[in-house]
C-alpha cells in the first residue's frame, strides 16, 4: 500500500510539474526548436551518451577488480546498461543500482562485495561530477564574473566535501570498528556477521589508491562525455550556451535527479534545466527543449539494458 501511494505521489508530481512548466513557455517557439532541430547532432548526442555509459562501466569494473571480484568487462558493460534501464523506467533512481548488483550474482558468490562495489561506484561517480562542477563554478564566478552562480558554487563545494568526507569515513578501519561495537548489544548480535562482511568489503578500498584514482579518472571521462551530450543537443536545437556552464550545471542537475520524488525524473529534470540554465541566460523555451531531448536520449540510450536483462540467461559472455 505504501509503495502504491508513493508511486501515485510521484506520478502527480511529474504530471503537475510538466503541466505547470508547459504553461510558462511559448509553445510555438518550443515546437520550433524541436521540429527544426538538426537530427545529426542529436544522433551524435545519443552515441556520446552510450559511450558515457561504457566509460561508467569501466569505472565499475576497476572497482570490482580492486576487491578481487573477477567479472568480464563485457558483462559489466551489459549490467551497467541494465542499471540505467531500470533507473529510467522505475520510479526510484536507486532501482538500477539494485538490478545491476543483482545481475552479477551469476558471476560471483561474493554478493556483499558486489553490492558494496555498486555503492562505491556511485560515490566515485558523484565525486567526479561534483569535482567538475566545482572547477567550472570557480571559472564561471571568479574568471567570468558570474556572481549569480555563487550559490551554485557553494552547493557544489559543500556537496563535494560531503562526498569526500563521507567516503573517507566508510573506508576508515578505525571508524568502521568503532561503529561495529553497537553490534555487541544483545539484540543486534545476530546482525554482526552481516556487518562484518560489509565492513570488510569497504575495507578492500582502504589502500587501493591506484584503483580509486583510475576509477575517478574513468568517472571524469563519463562527465566529459555527458557534458558533450548537452553541447551537441544545444547545437542541434540551433541554440547557444557556453560549454563551461554545461559542465557546471549538468552535475548539479544530475544530483537533483537523485531525489526519488518523480517518475524517472520527469518534471523535476525539466524544472531543474529551466531554473539552472536560466541563471546563465538561456531562454525558458530552449532550456525546456534541451531537457526534453536529453530525456529522450537517456531513454533511447538505456533501452539496450532492457534487452540485456531479458536475454541475461540466454547469451554467453
DSSP state of 208: -
- Whether residue 3 is contained in a domain is answered as no
User: Given a cut of 80, is residue 57 above it in pLDDT?
Assistant: yes
Query: Which range is least confidently modeled, 54-63, 76-85, 92-101, 256-265?
Result: 92-101
Written as nine digits, the cell of 95 is: 532501482
CA atoms of 15 and 10, how far apart (whole Å) = 9
Span 137-160, pLDDT tens digits: 999 998 888 888 898 999 999 999
Please state the domain count of the chain: 1
CA atoms of 232 and 159, how far apart (whole Å) = 27
- Whether residue 7 is contained in a domain is answered as no
CA atoms of 269 and 121, how far apart (whole Å) = 23
Span 274-312, pLDDT tens digits: 999 999 999 999 999 999 999 999 999 999 988 888 876
Angle at alpha carbon of residue 177, lines to 171 and 179, rounded to 5°: 90
Predicted local distance difference test score (pLDDT) of residue 313 = 61
Cα separations in angstroms, 19 against 13, 263, 286? 10, 15, 17
Q: Which residue has the cell 526548436?
A: 33
Query: Which range is least confidently modeled, 8-17, 50-59, 293-302?
Result: 8-17
Q: If you average pLDDT over residues 165-174, what whole number do you get?
A: 86
User: Given a cut of 60, is residue 315 above it in pLDDT?
Assistant: no
DSSP state of 90: S
Instruction: For residue 108, give its domain range.
Output: 12-171+204-310
CA atoms of 11 and 51, how far apart (whole Å) = 31
21: helix, coil or strand? Answer: helix
Local confidence band at 255 (pLDDT 50, 70, 90 cut-offs): confident
- Whether residue 35 is contained in a domain is answered as yes
Cα separations in angstroms, 316 against 78, 132, 311, 312? 12, 38, 10, 8
| Confidence (pTM) | 0.87
Q: Which residue has the cell 565525486?
A: 127
- Whether residue 30 is contained in a domain is answered as yes
- Whether residue 180 is contained in a domain is answered as no
Predicted local distance difference test score (pLDDT) of residue 2 = 67
Amino acid at each position: 500500500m505504501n509503495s502504491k501511494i508513493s508511486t501515485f505521489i510521484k506520478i502527480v508530481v511529474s504530471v503537475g510539474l510538466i503541466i505547470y512548466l508547459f504553461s510558462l513557455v511559448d509553445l510555438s517557439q518550443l515546437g520550433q526548436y524541436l521540429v527544426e532541430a538538426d537530427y545529426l547532432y542529436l544522433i551524435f548526442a545519443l552515441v556520446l551518451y552510450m559511450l558515457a555509459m561504457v566509460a561508467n562501466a569501466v569505472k565499475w569494473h576497476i572497482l570490482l577488480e580492486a576487491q578481487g571480484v573477477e567479472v568480464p568487462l563485457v558483462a559489466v558493460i551489459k549490467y551497467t546498461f541494465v542499471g540505467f534501464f531500470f533507473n529510467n523506467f522505475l520510479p526510484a533512481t536507486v532501482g538500477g543500482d539494485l538490478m545491476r548488483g543483482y545481475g552479477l550474482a551469476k558471476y560471483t558468490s561474493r554478493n556483499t562485495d558486489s553490492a558494496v562495489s555498486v555503492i562505491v561506484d556511485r560515490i566515485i561517480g558523484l565525486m567526479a561530477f561534483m569535482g567538475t562542477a566545482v572547477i567550472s563554478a570557480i571559472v564561471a564566478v571568479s574568471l567570468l564574473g558570474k556572481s549569480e552562480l555563487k550559490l551554485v558554487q557553494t552547493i557544489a563545494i559543500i556537496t563535494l566535501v560531503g562526498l569526500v568526507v563521507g567516503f573517507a569515513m566508510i573506508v576508515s578501519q578505525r571508524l568502521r570498528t568503532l561503529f561495529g561495537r553497537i553490534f555487541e548489544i544483545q539484540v543486534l548480535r545476530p546482525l554482526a556477521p552481516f556487518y562484518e562482511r560489509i565492513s570488510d568489503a569497504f575495507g578492500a578500498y582502504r589502500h587501493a589508491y591506484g584503483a580509486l584514482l583510475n576509477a575517478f579518472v574513468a568517472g571524469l571521462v563519463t562527465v566529459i562525455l555527458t557534458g558533450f551530450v548537452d553541447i551537441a543537443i544545444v547545437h542541434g536545437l540551433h541554440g547557444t550556451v557556453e560549454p563551461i556552464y554545461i559542465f557546471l550545471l549538468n552535475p548539479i542537475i544530475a544530483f537533483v535527479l537523485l531525489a526519488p520524488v518523480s517518475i524517472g525524473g520527469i518534471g523535476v529534470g525539466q524544472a531543474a534545466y529551466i531554473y539552472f540554465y536560466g541563471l546563465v541566460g538561456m531562454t525558458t523555451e530552449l532550456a525546456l527543449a534541451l531537457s526534453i531531448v536529453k530525456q529522450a536520449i537517456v531513454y533511447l540510450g538505456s533501452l539496450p539494458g532492457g534487452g540485456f536483462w531479458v536475454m541475461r540467461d540466454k547469451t554467453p559472455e
